[in-house]
Structure 1
Amino acid sequence: MKIHAMAALSRGADLTPWIMECSPLGPFDCLVKVESCGLCYSDVHMIDNDWRSSRYPLVPGHEVIGAIADCGPQVTRFKPGDRVGIGWQQSACLACRDCLRGNENLCSQSGALIADGYGGFADHLVIDSRFCFSLPRELDMERAGPLLCGGITVYAALRYAGMTSGQNIGVIGLGGLGHLAIQFAARLGNRVTSFTTSGSKEADALSLGAAEVVLMKEGRPTTRPSEPLDLIIVTVPYSFAWDKLLGLLATDGTLTFAATPAENVSINVDRLLSHRRRIMASPTAGRAMIEETLSLAARHRILPVIQPFPLNQVNEAIRQLRANRIRYRAVIRL
């Protein structure tokens, strides 16, 4: 069987049609017929080899929605026709300390779908079924893809930073990650303050569930939130006046990063000592947390706001993403 894909043949190149032979299914593998796939800025980083882990031809796409077409002999969780989602991770050792604690995403032997395999900008892909996830029937299949990366990234970051309910939570940035963080925090019973550099996004933030919006200028909030914040999540890769943000946290408050700032973070430790605050970061999520994310998204109707593009316009979608013109996630239809 031949798989038809769109691939970058060299660093920074536009995607062009590329055909590859489908590898034989291993015992735990599934063949998935792709229906749609989200476009994430991590795909752009991989196309450009920003992380020095790309290999070409590179087939991007790690927010995959599709249907099982075939299964290896040891696959018991799925059958042909089942709707599934696939995210960033495609493998782990499943035996180390992190894996056994449900932190497969932190495994030192983990493999990434588009770094160690081929992604979802293709009519089919092969994936280890143990990193394939059933999609609740309540989820809109076209819009669900970005939950498999953007959604799990912000939900995991919020949960590991201590989010429960009844808290005051700040979300820095209103983009592909931020608009999902607002929804998860608000729908789970928290009061959300959205921080954005764009006044034109205020109505969007409120419609997504934010209780108030604070405008940022030159990396600083122009006003203080009405209440101290228990948790602040950073969802954009920019630098801010970190001491100012730490000063918005309540006692025992946490500043957590779901995106990497452009410059190293410099802080005054007194800001932490004075109210026992902390700083942390969180990457993607393990399998149990992904299942939890999808279940909650279905139950509380949490879905990305998307701009759909047909596969033959994938390069236009990438150009718009590079230019920061997507509100808020691009999805490629196969």
Structure 2
Amino acid sequence: MTALPSSGTTRAWVVERPAPIASGPLRPVEREIAEPGPYELLLGVRACGVCRTDLHLAEGDLPPRRPGCTPGHEIVGEVLTAGAYAGGFTAGERVGAAWLAGTCGRCRWCRAGRENLCPASRYTGWDIHGGFAGHTVVDSRYVYRLPEGLPDEDAAPLLCAGIIGYRALERAELPRGGRLGLYGFGASAHLTAQLAVARGAEVHVVTRSPAARRLALDLGAASAGPDAPPCPLDSAILFAPAGSLVPKALEALDRGGTLAIAGIHLTGVPPLDYGRHLFQERTMRSVAANTREDGRAYLAEAARLRPAVRAVRYSLGRADRALADLAAGSVTGVAVLVPP
């Protein structure tokens, strides 16, 4: 191993007690820099995307798993120290750490290539400290080598917003050249729209934000409005964490269409009417995290596509402000923390 940074401590944000973001659940701390184990990497954080899941964790929509945990799971980092069995990574290498942080590798889900359903799965920023910090330690078996030429702040959102959008698009089973509806147009949707357009889809966006509608049209959407798409959809993805949109998205589907719900948290879903919402073989399915194969496949596609990332930069010291802006819906694109 190379030597640890000489300071011995790192600045980090922790969720002290989950609560509404306006009450300040995030607290800045100085923490000892951990020494990585045999399969681990110590990273100097170069950029970390701010995801809605971080907001759900801070506000308690997702119950805390580790007291005083540091959020952040879209981490671009520089390898500072590599464990003896850390997969050939070397000091100075740029890597990405994402939401999935570990699995058992033995259960029937792992053995079947569905490790995202592993009952023992662990997650960055929920089970282990994440990237709202100057340094963090991650399992080398769950990091990604990143496409060359992408700035750190553009690469960071690919690691969750991009990967989850990729899996949601796969789960939506969009036919070639089909019509895709996107409900909500934040970090993940603005990357997914570009992926779908590049694959030949006709994309229709539903969002209340005028700025997000303008961005959607700039990125190649065929339409963007506040209510319903102008035509029947072959597939749809619900990114907004609003269960009230589920019936509306199902109603917009053509016969045989599929709705994929991409979020980890969703408010209550109103009662569904079988004839209006599900008959004619309409399908509704959830999206649960991702596999490492999803991550590798998406990053390879993104390396070719070179998506336009609308990154809004915040210093690490303003992580609480970034989450507050996300909660208020005032971030068009994706917020990214950039440590000094």
Distance 1:163 1:327 in 2: 26
Q: Deviations over 1:229-281 (max 9, x none)?
A: 21011110124464443233223210111124321242222246642211111
2:302 to 297, 307, 311: 297
2:107 to 77, 93, 96: 96
2:38 aligned counterpart, secondary structure: coil
Are residue 256 (structure 1) and residue 260 (structure 2) matched?
A: yes
CA deviation after TM superposition for structure 1 residue 283, in Å: 2.1
How many residue pairs align between the two structures? 327
Are residue 63 (structure 1) and residue 67 (structure 2) matched?
A: no
2:285 aligned counterpart, secondary structure: strand
Are residue 282 (structure 1) and residue 276 (structure 2) matched?
A: no
Distance 1:265 1:106 in 2: 26
Letter of the aligned partner of 2:240 in structure 1?
V
Distance 2:102 2:276 in 1: 40
Q: Deviations over 1:277-327 (max 9, x none)?
A: 111111221000011111111211124311101112222222212221111
> 1:103–1:287: 8 Å Cα contact kept in structure 2?
no
Letter of the aligned partner of 1:59 in structure 2?
T
Written as runs of structure 1 = structure 2, the 5 A alignment for 1:1-334 is 1-12=8-19, 13-163=24-174, 165-216=176-227, 221=228, 224-225=230-231, 228-240=232-244, 242-259=246-263, 260-271=265-276, 274-334=279-339
> 2:50–2:335: 8 Å Cα contact kept in structure 1?
yes
Q: Deviations over 1:144-177 (max 9, x none)?
A: 2122111111110111221353121111112223
> 2:47–2:77: 8 Å Cα contact kept in structure 1?
yes
Distance 2:61 2:323 in 1: 15
Distance 1:317 1:240 in 2: 26
Q: Identity of paired residues, percent?
A: 33
Which one is further off, 131-140 or 238-247? 238-247
* TM-score, normalised relative to structure 2: 0.89
Which ranges of 4 or more aligned residues in structure 1 deviate by more than 6 Å? none
1:299 aligned counterpart, secondary structure: helix
> 1:272–1:278: 8 Å Cα contact kept in structure 2?
no
Give 5+ residue unaligned stretches, structure 2.
Answer: 1-7
> 1:87–1:148: 8 Å Cα contact kept in structure 2?
yes
* TM-score, normalised relative to structure 1: 0.90
Distance 1:201 1:114 in 2: 27
Q: Deviations over 1:102-131 (max 9, x none)?
A: 322211001112222111111111111011
Give 5+ residue unaligned stretches, structure 1.
Answer: none
> 1:89–1:131: 8 Å Cα contact kept in structure 2?
yes
Distance 1:21 1:167 in 2: 52
**Alpha-carbon RMSD:** 2.0
> 2:18–2:25: 8 Å Cα contact kept in structure 1?
no
Distance 2:235 2:140 in 1: 35
1:115 aligned counterpart, secondary structure: coil
